Amino acid sequence: MRQLSIRPWAVGLSRGERVSTALVAFHITALATVTFDGLSETPAWVAAQNAMWPLIDPLPGAAAATIESLGTLFIPVGFAGVYIFVCGLVSRMSGHSMKKPEVVRKFVFSLVPIALAYNLSHYISFLLITGQQIVPLISNPFGCGLSDWTGFVCMRGVFPGFEWNLFGTMGYKPNIGLIDARFAWIVSVTALVLGHIISVFTAHVISLRSVRNHSIAVRSQYPMLFLMIFYTAVSLWIIAQPLIS
């Protein structure tokens, strides 16, 4: 007999399941790339691009694309390096009750709420504004009439008089006033703060389950707590910056 089990959000993150190196890399990359996506639209990144331009411009290819590619590559590598270093501190402060590779694997799930929160805060406007395009697209899923290459897919030659408007929503125009900057900012800040609180709590639970001595378990969390607070500050700083396209 099948059962439906309802549990609070994020409870499964502290179950201690087996974690592969690939899964660790995936979580760190998911967190780092969306951070870089936000950072790349700030004046600070433009200043960094200008500083790197004389070094990159002589190389083959477009300098701007090269700098963006390097950022996409090295930001996750930097995140991974910082995370592994902090995990080493956690292992040391636990009296090596947890080995460093074990800490790296166990605590990576505590980053999941942060990654989800930052994805929500970063893409909330895109989701609610551009996401409205799904309304006309459900009536015209192949984009018939919008470009020449859709002719074969839309069977224009077979049914020359057929107009794709399956559900009568083709005429819908996205409402760009659905949300304003204030609403997006409130949602972003709320998501970031809640996500980081849940991450800190998850790391706390994982530590208590991994180290028998309660005082050592609490003390070993300080490096990870500092990392999460630091990332919270960086995330809030990014969303507070003026965007530059």
**Where are the chain's structural domains?**
20-240
The per-residue b/e assignment along 77-93, b for 16 or more CB within 10 angstroms, e otherwise, is eebbeebeebbebbbeb
Burial 21-49 (b: 16+ CB within 10 A, else e): eeebeebbbbbbbbbbbbbbbbeebeeeb
Distance CA 240, CA 120 (A): 15
Per-residue pLDDT of the chain (245 residues; tens, 9 = 90+): 677 877 777 777 777 677 888 989 998 998 898 888 888 888 888 888 888 888 777 666 677 788 888 888 999 999 999 999 999 999 999 888 888 888 999 899 888 888 888 888 888 888 888 888 888 888 887 766 655 555 555 655 545 545 677 788 888 888 888 888 888 888 888 998 899 899 998 888 888 888 888 888 888 899 999 998 898 888 888 888 876 65
Q: Is the entire prediction scored with pTM above 0.85?
A: no
Give the integer Cα–Cα distance in Å for 47 and 90: 35
